[in-house]
Structure formats: C-alpha cells, structure tokens
Amino acid sequence: MKSKHLLSIKDLSIADINNILTKAEKFLDKKNKKKNSFSDKNIINLFFEDSTRTLTSFELAGKQLGASVINMSIATSSIKKGETLIDTAMTLNAMDPDILIVRHNMSGVPYLLSEKVNCSVINAGDGSNEHPTQALLDALTIKRHKKNIAGLEVAILGDVLHSRVARSNIYLLNKLGAKVRIISPPTLLPPKIEDLGVKVFKNLEEGLKNVDIVMVLRMQKERMSGTFVPSEKEFFKFWGLDRKKLNNAKKNALVMHPGPINRGIEIDSDVADDIGRSLILEQVKLGVAIRMALIEQLIK
C-alpha cells in the first residue's frame, strides 16, 4: 500500500484491494487464526459514534493478531472536560500506538487526525463520507459467493444520501469492474451521484431487474434533520425490500446489509432472515478477517 493509513477506498489500487482480500481469506482458515507476532503492537479504537460490529471486529482482529487493543471510552474521557479532538489524538499519539482506528460523525475527521499523529490511522466510518473496511468486507462476501466481482450487477438500495457505506462501495465495486446502480427515493439521493459512475433508478421494481446483489442500506435517522420520507410505513411500502420486490432481481440474487438493520423499514424480516438469500451475518463474520488482513498490512 502506498499510504500507511486507510482513509478512503480511493487511495487503494486494485492490487492493494486484491491483496487484502487474499490475506483475509487466509485468516478464515482456522490454522492461520491465532498469531502472536504482534505482541509488541498497540492499537487504539477511538470511536466517537456508536458501533457494534465495527468496534467489536476491530478489537477481535487486533487481539487475534496478538496486539494489545484499547477501546477508548469517549463518555468517560477528557473530551467531556472540553479537550479538543486534536488534543485528544495528540495525547494518545504520545503513548506511541501503532494504529489509531477512528469513527466520527463528521466527514474528514480521520484525515485530520492522520496529519497530527505518527501512527497509522484507519477510517472506521466518518459521517456520510466513507467506511472503507465495510466495503472491503462486502467485496470479500461477494467474492466468496459469486467468484468474479467484475461484470456483476450490484444495486445499492435506500438512504444513499447519508450512507458512507454506499460511497465506499461505489468506489470499490467500480474499481473491481462491477456495474453499480443506485435505487433510492429522490429525497435520499445525493446530487450528482451519477458522476461517481453509477446508474440511478427512481423505481424499485425497475431498478432490481437483472441484479445479482442487492445491498440494502439503513435509514440513517441520526443524520437527518427534518423529514426525508413521509412515514416509515410508507417508506417500507415503496422502498423496503420484501420477498415480492426481491423477485424482480435475478433468481439467485443475494441480499446484503451492513447492519444494524431496521426490520420493517428498509428490509422485511422474511428476506433478512432467509439464509439462502441473505448474507448479512456472513458479512459480520468476514469483517474480522478483513480487519486482521488490513492491520497486518499496515503494521507488519
């Protein structure tokens, strides 16, 4: 990798991406799981936003590699006493960590911090900008089911406007040669999204035609000021993925969602829990392997 940080998918070459995916597949093999070669390494998780999957999997990934992992508790930190973001980062930097893993509700914070610290910085999700490790684990999940990502028709469905997962996936899937389309109500569609190399569909049934993968996004209520949809019930009726709507996609189309899912808003339980079609829990599982591969790549 050219950079010692992972801030955006845009910074990765196709070779970098394939390298991380191959490494992650090796970690899935039990024999390669426990490694203690990183016992002299320190990783700090600095999460200013809630997280279940990403935080836990980064912690597990670091520990599986033998590193010491510290989860900073923001609620009990000096940030509550008025310390600035940069002072907090510089303080942590003075303790000489090898990696700082940052999640923040403002776009650009991991970039800002990467300029102030000596260690590697991983973007674990910044506002509605990017979530590169989610896109990497999504690519690994797709690869394990469809072999070739190039040529696949992938639909990203729902609240694209507020989604960092959507943006990172658009960059990554385009790099790997998939054809990406966005299906979203006009109020949740970012302006000029076509410029990122995607096709836009404002009708769900039409948008799902001939699709291999449907990536459903969570409605990001915490990033909305005001109302973007008339009601959750109405959103589900027109834009929520249920069995009937999924039938418009290819017969063997698979369903993904970064989690946490809002049942009955963007996805029906019947689809989310269908182990023949839904890859949601597999995405979580593969997240640990991807993060192990990335950590190893950045600090070996």
Residues forming the site for ligand NCD (CB under 6 A): 53-54, 125, 131, 134, 164-165, 218, 220, 258-259
CB of 24 to ligand NCD, least distance (A): 16
CB of 125 to ligand NCD, least distance (A): 4
Q: Dihedral (C-alpha) 299, 77, 131, 123: value to the nearest 10 degrees?
A: -30
Active site residue 54: yes
Residue 108 or 259: which CB sits closer to ligand NCD? 259
Active site residue 104: no
Active site residue 162: no
Residue 41 or 139: which CB sits closer to ligand NCD? 139
Task: Report yes or no: 155 and 214 within 8 Å, Cβ to Cβ.
Answer: yes
Tokens found for residue 31: 């024999």
CB of 274 to ligand NCD, least distance (A): 20
**Beta bridge mates, 180:** 154
Residues shown for the chain: 300
Q: Which of the following is catalytic: 54, 88, 133, 141?
A: 54
**Beta bridge mates, 121:** 100
Residue 114 or 123: which CB sits closer to ligand NCD? 123
Residue with smallest beta-carbon separation from ligand NCD: 218
Q: Which of the following is catalytic: 5, 41, 104, 131?
A: 131
DSSP 2: -
CB of 251 to ligand NCD, least distance (A): 28
Q: Which of the following is catalytic: 5, 103, 143, 167?
A: 103
Residue 257 or 277: which CB sits closer to ligand NCD? 257
Residue 5 or 164: which CB sits closer to ligand NCD? 164
CB of 87 to ligand NCD, least distance (A): 25
CB of 94 to ligand NCD, least distance (A): 29
d(CA 73, CA 75): 5
Residue 38 or 229: which CB sits closer to ligand NCD? 229
Active site residue 5: no
Q: Which positions are catalytic?
A: 53-54, 81, 103, 131
